[in-house]
Amino acid sequence: MYGRKGFKLISELDLYSDILPFNVGCMIEALIKEVLQEMQSLYDANVANSNAIRNDNNMALLPSVQLRHIALKRNKRCILAYIYNRMRKLKELRWELGSILPPEINTNLINAEVQWFQSYNKSLAKYMRSLGEDHGFNLTTNMVPPKTLYVEVKCVEDFGKLELDDGQVILLKKNTYHLLPRSVCEPLIRQGILEHKKYVSMEFPSYEQETQTIQLRSIKSDD
Amino acid sequence: MACCQSYIPDYFAITDILSTEERISCKIEVELPGLGFLDSSCQSENLKVGTKVEFPLWLAEPLKNLQNSVVSVDIPKIYKEGYRQILEADAEVIVLSKWNPFYYELGMHVRKLSDRDYEIITESLLQTFKSRFQLVMDWSQNAMSDPTLSIQLPRLERDLFLIGQQAKIRLVEWLKMGTNELVVSEITTNLKKRKREQYEFD
């Protein structure tokens, strides 16, 4: 049946919703090639048949041409959807992790995607520079409303030197604690290099505990 | 940053592509020259009138809608009278994902195939969703719900279930006077997990 390979491509995409394995084992590439081959053979058969229709006026061939055309469109849709959905994920990564992708993801990309990502970076940066007063405005910071300017963080990984906005250079070593401006930390925390230290307020009983006891009570009363 | 999808399936929608792969039994109405291989039991080169074949929905629907229909279709049994009555009786106890993981999405396509039952199927889908919605909401709001639950739900309900759970977690966090905490990106956490797995594997 036509369209099988294209379907497999999309189910592959559906299965691994969080990563982008493009070149893994060359399987996806081979799959895409097979889909393209199928499209080529469909197209060739249609050209031959439509020539026959034109020259011999053999209208009996028309339904077959229509069927192949539908299959051709389906295959096109599968391939385009595959590429488009990967692109959308890349776009989300830009907002999540910043302009430099971790190597684990980078190796899964093909050249065209790397190029697309760079140009997306460029247009986003250009747009953010045009906002605000003189330095531009970084839209990717403060994804949750800030309450303090400085936050206390623990360094989880050796990172090396980090230059702050005021020119001061600090050394981020594993298992050290720092009090840093929130805007500097935010991307590093999201990348998993720093860890935000939490303060648990002791004055209020936590909501979760409370609901749990309520649920327990209700279970007991059910009995 | 979530790039939202419109509700109506767009051209690139993964769920729509997956749901339209479902096989529909069709009867050929016009002879198809050179396509005999589409029916595995067929010996001749052409697909003859009256042959019964299983075409995927994406092929069956446009073929039926051509000016002179190439095929006539029979809608899947799960949208027929008998099954509709089961749903009418008690929609909540049925493991709908076993019927079809894309029950609602497929239903929206299938109803267009049937001229007679168009409105009845639409109504049945809506009623089924309405009566099951409460169940899905209940499950998602209870922290203790078991993780296999989401497998029992068809795709649309499963997505709602997961969103509901997320919302619940966020509400609890907010009530704890929090939400100010900066957290590791989910993607990074997943990458690290994978690394550890590889390491342990070696």
CATH number at residue B57: 3.40.5
What domain count does chain B have? 1
- Burial class from Cβ neighbours inside 10 Å (0-12, 13-18, 19+) for residue A13 reads buried
* Pair A86, A149 in one domain: no
Q: Which of A130, A153, A185 corresponds to the end of one domain?
A: A130
Of the ranges A145-159, A208-222, B106-120, which one carries the lowest mean pLDDT score?
A: A208-222
- pLDDT for residue B5: 46
Of the ranges A115-124, A135-144, A177-186, B163-172, which one carries the lowest mean pLDDT score?
A: A135-144
Structural domain contains residue A107: yes
Distance, in Å, from the CA atom of A19 to the CA atom of B175, rounded to the nearest integer, reads 32
* Pair A124, A146 in one domain: no
* Pair A125, A18 in one domain: yes
Identify the residue among A67, A73, A104 best suited for mutation to test binding to B, counting B beta carbons within 10 A and taking the highest: A67
- pLDDT for residue A175: 86
* Pair A122, A146 in one domain: no
Measured between CB atoms, does A199 come within 8 Å of chain B?
no
* Pair A154, A187 in one domain: yes
Structural domain contains residue A119: yes
Measured between CB atoms, does B4 come within 8 Å of chain A?
no
Structural domain contains residue B60: yes
Structural domain contains residue B63: yes
- pLDDT for residue A157: 84
**At A110, which CATH number?**
1.20.58.1030
Question: Full-prediction pTM beyond 0.80?
Answer: no
Domain that holds residue A76: 4-130
Q: Distance of CA A146 to CAs A141, A185, B118, B148, B178, Å?
A: 10, 12, 52, 37, 11
- The alpha carbon of A163 is separated from its chain's Cα centroid by a whole number of angstroms, namely 29
* Pair A20, A64 in one domain: yes
Q: Do B30 and A190 touch (CB under 8 A)?
A: no
Q: Which of A74, A99, A130 corresponds to the end of one domain?
A: A130
**Judged by CB atoms within 8 Å, which residues 77-116 of B form the interface with A?**
none
Of the ranges A103-107, B48-52, B90-94, B138-142, which one carries the lowest mean pLDDT score?
A: A103-107
* Pair A214, A124 in one domain: no
What domain count does chain A have? 2
What confidence tens digit (pLDDT) does each residue in B44-86 have? 788 888 888 889 999 999 998 888 888 889 888 999 889 999 9
* Pair A51, A105 in one domain: yes
Structural domain contains residue A90: yes
Contact residues on chain B for A96, CB-CB shorter than 8 A: 1, 185-187
Whether B164 shows a pLDDT value over 60: the answer reads yes
* Pair A190, A123 in one domain: no
Whether A205 shows a pLDDT value over 50: the answer reads no
Tokens linked to B40: 């595995």
- pLDDT for residue A204: 44
- pLDDT (average), residues B94-111: 89
Measured between CB atoms, does A127 come within 8 Å of chain B?
no
Structural domain contains residue B140: no
Whether A202 shows a pLDDT value over 60: the answer reads no
Structural domain contains residue A204: yes
Is residue A99 very low, low, confident or very high in pLDDT (cuts 50, 70, 90)? confident
Backbone dihedral angles phi then psi of residue B34, each to the nearest 5 degrees: 75, 5
Q: What percent of chain A has pLDDT over 70?
A: 84
- pLDDT for residue A37: 93
- pLDDT for residue B180: 59
Q: Which residues contact A102 (CB under 8 A, 6 or more apart)?
A: A191, B188, B191
Is residue A195 very low, low, confident or very high in pLDDT (cuts 50, 70, 90)? confident
Structural domain contains residue B48: yes
* Pair A96, A146 in one domain: no
Tokens linked to B181: 């905490």
DSSP per-residue string spanning A67-127: HHHHHHHHHHHHHHHHHHHHHHHHHHHHHHH-SS--HHHHTT--HHHHHHHHHHHHHHHHH
Q: Do A97 and B187 touch (CB under 8 A)?
A: yes
- pLDDT for residue B3: 42
Structural domain contains residue A21: yes
Average per-residue pLDDT in chain B? Answer: 82
- pLDDT for residue A135: 73
Contact residues on chain A for B18, CB-CB shorter than 8 A: 7, 10-11, 14
Is residue B143 very low, low, confident or very high in pLDDT (cuts 50, 70, 90)? low
Average per-residue pLDDT in chain A? Answer: 80
User: How far apart are the CA of B5 and the nearest CA of chain A, in angstroms?
Assistant: 11
* Pair A122, A157 in one domain: no
What confidence tens digit (pLDDT) does each residue in A46-83 have? 999 999 888 888 888 888 899 999 999 999 999 999 88
Structural domain contains residue A136: no
Contact residues on chain A for B14, CB-CB shorter than 8 A: 10, 13-14, 81, 85
* Pair A180, A203 in one domain: yes
Domain that holds residue B43: 17-74
Is residue A207 very low, low, confident or very high in pLDDT (cuts 50, 70, 90)? very low
- pLDDT for residue A21: 63
Q: Are B91 and B131 in contact (CB under 8 A)?
A: yes
Structural domain contains residue B30: yes
- pLDDT (average), residues B103-132: 90
Measured between CB atoms, does A173 come within 8 Å of chain B?
no
**Of residues A145 and B80, more confidently modeled:** B80
Q: How many CB pairs under 8 A join A and B?
A: 137
**Judged by CB atoms within 8 Å, which residues 39-78 of A form the interface with B?**
45, 49, 60-61, 63-64, 66-67, 70-71, 74, 77-78
User: How far apart are the CA of A213 and the nearest CA of chain B, in angstroms?
Assistant: 13
- pLDDT for residue B195: 61
- pLDDT for residue A213: 46
Structural domain contains residue B38: yes
